[in-house]
Structure 1
């Protein structure tokens, strides 16, 4: 028992040491993504296939019972009227009678859409569990519905089943399920309407596979041995080579030879070159294998020997999902297929490495010059002993290991669904691979590969709901990414450089598509033609090149806050990236939390919290966003703390003036009564308005408060301070019900008098002006005695959308309040929260 406990403990320690990774530098929410969307027709959903035709400037989209021809520059524009290809009503009825769902399954899902030749596309759909194929005339974008072909073996019956296929020299190579029940997997080549070649129906060949991708590699080009082209298939299946206790789903890569014609007697019209091997993506020190293959992308190269594959995997670590990206080279895959075979030993009923002599010619190999020199010119002339061997030994003993023997990228808590890769040159003329990774919850991760390491540039929320990303397509000419899901299609540029507002931010992004233009002081698309005036450092992200530009950086707006003694103040700091850390200064000196117990740094809320402020807290607070030693000014606050009204009253009311005291008591009582009546009136009026159905009405009121002025307080950044934002209508939008001060004047002068709120309303707020008593009384008293011209927001209550938890600690109270504020996408980032 003790050794097993130590083993589990060791794994946990290794898991803590492993960098689960990589945090995206930027997180861009749905409303901040720069994109063009297609307005789908009513009922259209489930984008299954995306096919680019860059010569015609078209993007062909296969969805549920419809095929689109869209403008590659703007997918909101249709080049031709869409093709509506529905399964007939009788086919749908028959599908439902066989036990399939008439809500989700009994439709014609377009699963295959590829260019057949210069004039036609070929498309195949599930056709309500009776697969059909047809040709599309490109000149007028019409489908020949009168001459439908049988789709069996070309696409699956079930739209949820995996499938892959490609067109090569007029032949369709497909991997799919060959029957209604989904129990007959097949990899076959179809010429016309005839099945020419296919796999053997043996569990040792294919065992409950889920097909993912396929790729053609022209290995005959420049081959010294006269080799043949290969077609590679990627899939997952239930492994047979493990015992029952450890039987598991594993990832595979299989290959066939393009010139394979089958055997003369054995394996007639069956592949004589079919071999498969395990595709391994793992973290050895954690004994974690990523077995669930989700997507594979072939990165083209000028020379096929430099071809690489990028694959997306899923796994689980404890209760958490975890995903990985692994890279493979074509040469590593070749070595495995040239290595030893695995065999099933009847005597021990176990799988192991085959150690006996291998027949000649080598089983599973393509016909090469060696075969021709020995009188074998096609697979039809292979001897039976070679064919019988490959029939019983389709599995290789070695596994295909990922480049660098470990994943390029690992993310815990994420499920990757698909991947696409684009290679581009940086301004240093070095090639960089840009990875676009779709997730199960509708996000796209963009990363750059540096060989053995990866940097995640950003994560983009491309769909407003958690729709899985089904498909990705890249247009190198237009520098556009197309993302498909069940909700529709999204078009994105490869990069949105405008989001980087400073030189350092642009350099730290490490995006090969972006560079800082020193002439116009903006982050723009990188262009080799303008290298002398562009700054970029992808490998090292050295921001020292920006020293000259730092003087031109945009200074943040100073937010002036005036509060009373004892108020709890929250100063948010919006960092420049997820990789940055906040550095706070107070009056130009580094602010340390251990210097004052009332000052707290809340990393979860990314805010500075000051509990029970005193006059010694008055001053200039600046938050810097520090990343890789570079500091960028994120937020700047001028905090003014004033005495409470009670202290002011006591200083002006001596004890010997008893009559004056009584007069003040009566006056205060009258004011309190007026405030109470005003609150009752406004609450009743607001309730009436809500009952009328005005659901969009804010549950808070905003009033201007005119206060006497005091001597000017020192400004943090004079060049950035401005009074023009005082009446900015965007500053008056609220929805979270918290108590806030909105930036305004903070030109304070000494005064012992108090003032009452003005009756003037705020533009756009047609509400009465009498002052209200706030349920959160900690701020109101201080503001009455303060002197800034600002706006105080008072919570009316009754409209809280989330139940207030029972919080016994002030820190928890503040944290809950600020979380309510941060959860709103429409909150104003320029406002100060108190």
Structure 2
């Protein structure tokens, strides 16, 4: 069998196996994935709104609003309703005339909020002219006017103009508060009260001291409870965003994350700050690992939760961050408490003097600028912001920034991956609260679950829900499940409970959450027993049938060749630093927590990665060994788990024989066609007929393009590809054993893997992972664990060239055999060795 035949024979088997594994994983958790495009091509879903009483999920999409029964996703999906809300053709043409793309000139529904009277307030971009309408839940229709048209009102300041603009909104006691761009060009931004009485619709001041090119992320309404609010303080709305900092005098634009606060009863000032916020204050959020000095300054998402249900004062904000200064993918999670934010808002103000030095402004007038109304202010006669003195309003207009920052250390740092959305599940209750589970959506359609107990984070599992082109853009938690959305799909997965951890090793990693493995039931169960002293994860892992613990990895032997570049992974969940022990040589460079090594005779030996983590019951860091490798020179391995050179040469011989047959066949065809032509012309053709125009037409022209099969089979046919979630991307360099930021806390297992250098494939290096060639048939042996989950086979793919295609006029494009053979790189370089096809299981 030819190599092409073997490849095409095995591909359906691999796809079938990968699909079966994915389906089995979902069915085991009673999860479901729904492709929304089945519903009359619903696409570009960006907004979720859940009716928790009926489990009905509203989805805002392009030109449509969809309602889905989330309890029936695993059955035939029940669509409660579907509304088409598109843009008239004339308005669409006018939008395109303003140099906007035809795709953007649709109506992208970006806002869905309950009004509290059985209606939903919906807003869409409406071809760069934002409009809002009212949705009747009982009939699931949009309210109409007497002319049978949709009843609409302007959405400027409530909804973005452009589909991709950053935006946030929150409904507070029936009143909408938004943060969005307020003009067509997207150069003006407002935080405003968008609904209610016209005289109470106020917004931010148009000043860079208030908002400086912001990217809005999230918002939250914190309603004070009577029992925890003895001072009668007003309810507050918090906005989270990233903006360009004005307090840093640098050549580049420095972005900083901010939290801003306004008060619910604020109606603006009488003369100063008319129809403007009088309580707008903002402070910087600092997510920084102080030991390493790494700071994460781009805010991506915020999840708001009460650590004690029913107590607003226990509210915490979990922020998802990345870094402006890192070129590689990077994500971090920090948590900020409401009490810390309140302390900063009650602290000193920051002021820029003419000397370009930021100082504390003195004196601060009374009553305190930016203060929300409370009982004390009302007793003094300030029962409305309209009665505040001008000096107070002038001060808050010029000093919206607080001097102190709200600081926190990262709970989790992942390098080599980008998280897009975050949701948090608290485990336990009250004083028995054990920790939290972070549900993190990636830009590759995955959902990661990470347990955070004390100062340590433990990676639990990864679920591949969508394709790699579908980033997770929504996560809602409901009844112990997570509703996860992408622009094209909707998934429901288990989010709470020990039962979702299907193996002893994963259950052991969740020991800090109150889970324990029951050998009798062969399942993970919840327990109220407190874990013993020491490392609770390691203690739990020792009870499982595993060879290593979290801080005691087994040694992986890597067989390498001299000159091979390697990237040895060391999975770092903690923000604390990692260090490597290795033979003393200069051919290494640490890349984040991973180690780059160029193999020489001096670099052979043991490589051990040790990370700092928090000790049991202590905040002091303790060393935890995370990875161990043994580099040895390539040699024969018993057991036949690695492809032998002879097998690779057999496949190379097949390729060579196939090409020679193709060339000889083409030469023979050309020779026969030439003889037939001479016979047809008889004896009237002169001896020098090949030089005549008539004879030249029978030859292949040198200007004619060669058949794509000849060049691509050898030059492009053996390019190393990397596959993420089913999508292969070709790389020009080889990265070996790299799971940067994507591994499980236990590292990866490389059971006697052979790494081979092949300079003849055009890329310098190749990785051959347990691939045997026997009698021309490719055999795939999955001994490598997946770099992200630590539980699935390694995903390694070698891409063969395109299938050969022979044109009907082959004789017109084939040259002489000597010239054609000279074009082939295989006659100049060593023959390429047999390559392993990637398995996605």
CA gap 1:399/1:610 in 2 versus in 1, 3 angstroms: closer
Query: What corresponds to 1:487 in structure 2?
Result: 488
Contact 2:225/2:312 (CA < 8 Å) preserved in 1? no
Q: Does 1:520 align with 2:521?
A: yes
- Give per-residue Cα distances to partners, 1:415-469, cap 9 Å, x unaligned: 2222111112299953321111222232222111123332221233322223322
Whether contact under 8 Å (2:434, 2:512) holds in the other structure is no
1:685-764 to structure 2, matched below 5 A, reads: none
In the TM superposition, what whole-angstrom CA distance separates every residue of 1:144-181 from its partner, at most 9, and x where no partner exists? 25211211111111111111111112211111111111
**Which residue is 1:560 aligned to?**
none
> Is 1:540 matched with 2:536?
yes
Residues 1:152 and 2:156 aligned together = yes
After TM superposition, give the deviation of residue 56 of structure 1 in Å: 0.9
Contact 1:121 1:137 in 2 (8 A): yes
Q: Which TM-score applies when normalising by structure 1?
A: 0.62
User: Secondary structure at 1:91's aligned position in 2?
Assistant: helix
CA distance in 2: counterparts of 1:339 and 1:364, whole angstroms: 11
TM-aligned CA deviation for residue 773 of structure 1: 7.5
Instruction: Find 2:380's aligned residue among 353, 356, 374.
Output: 374
2:367 aligned with 1:361: yes
Matched with 1:726 is: none
TM-score by length of 2: 0.62
Could you tell me which of 397, 402, 412 is aligned with 1:391? 397
Kept in 2, the 8 Å contact 1:495–1:513? The answer is no
The Cα offsets for residues 673-715 of structure 1, whole Å up to 9 and x where unpaired, read as xx99xx99xx99xx9xxxxxxxxxxx9xxxxxxxxxxxxxxxx
For structure 2, the residue ranges without an aligned partner over 5 or more in a row are 1-19, 145-149, 548-560, 562-569, 574-603, 609-626, 647-652, 666-716, 718-766, 780-797, 805-823
State the number of aligned residues.
602
Q: Indicate yes or no: 2:308 matched with 1:308.
A: no
CA contact (8 A) 2:63 2:86 kept: yes
Counting only pairs closer than 5 Å after superposition, residues 661-700 of structure 1 correspond to structure 2 as: none
CA contact (8 A) 2:453 2:512 kept: no
Check whether the contact 2:297–2:324 (CA below 8 A) recurs between aligned residues.
no
Alpha-carbon deviations, 1:260-282, whole Å to 9, x = none? 12112221221111111111112
Change (3 A) 1:447 1:502: closer
Q: Distance in 2 between matches of 1:536 and 1:437?
A: 30
Give the distance between the partners of 2:208 and 2:239, measured in 1 at CA: 17
Shift of 1:86: 1.0
Counterparts in 2 of 1:198 and 1:318: CA distance versus 1, 3 Å: closer
Q: Distance in 1 between matches of 2:181 and 2:481?
A: 33
The CA RMSD over aligned residues, in Å, is: 5.1
Superposed CA offset, 1:529-557 (max 9, x none): xx79x999997125569759899xxxxxx
The answer as to whether partners of 1:415 and 1:440 remain within 8 angstroms in 2 is yes
Q: Secondary structure at the match of 2:320?
A: strand
1:396-417 CA-partner distances (Å, limit 9, x unpaired): 1111111xxx211112222222
Alignment partner of 1:136 is 2:135: yes
Assess if the C-alpha contact under 8 Å between 1:507 and 1:538 holds in 2. Answer: no
How many Å separate the matches in 2 of 1:545 and 1:454? 16
Corresponding residue of 1:282: 288
Following the alignment from structure 2 to structure 1, what is the Cα–Cα distance between the partners of residues 531 and 352? Answer: 60
| SS of match in other structure, 2:413 | strand
Which residue number in structure 1 is paired with residue 202 of structure 2? 197
Distance 1:547 1:393 in 2: 59
Q: 2:180 aligns with which of 172, 176, 180?
A: 176
Instruction: Give CA deviations for 1:79-110 in whole Å, capped at 9, x if unaligned.
Output: 4231111122122111111111112x111111
1:440 aligns to what? 443
Shift of 1:31: 6.4
Quote the offset at 1:332 in angstroms.
0.7
* Structure 2 counterpart of 1:78: 78
Quote the Cα distance in structure 1 between the aligned partners of 2:197 and 2:153: 7
Conserved in 1, the CA contact under 8 Å of 2:68 and 2:81? no
Deviation of 1:804 after TM superposition, in Å, equals: 11
1:111 counterpart = 2:116: no
How far is the alpha carbon of 1:78 from its aligned partner? 2.8
What is the aligned counterpart of 2:469 among 460, 466, 471? 466
Instruction: Report the CA distance shift for 1:37/1:378 in structure 2 as closer, same or farther (over 3 A).
Output: same
Judge conservation of contact 2:434–2:453 (CA < 8 Å) in 1: no
Q: Given the alignment, which residue of 420, 423, 426 partners 1:423?
A: 426
- Given that 1:33 and 1:462 are in contact with CA atoms closer than 8 Å, whether structure 2 keeps it comes out as no
2:234 to 224, 228, 237: 228
State the shift of 1:207 in Å.
1.5
**Using the alignment, how far apart are the partners of 2:393 and 2:193 within structure 1?**
19
CA–CA distance in structure 2, aligned partners of residues 537 and 157 of structure 1: 57
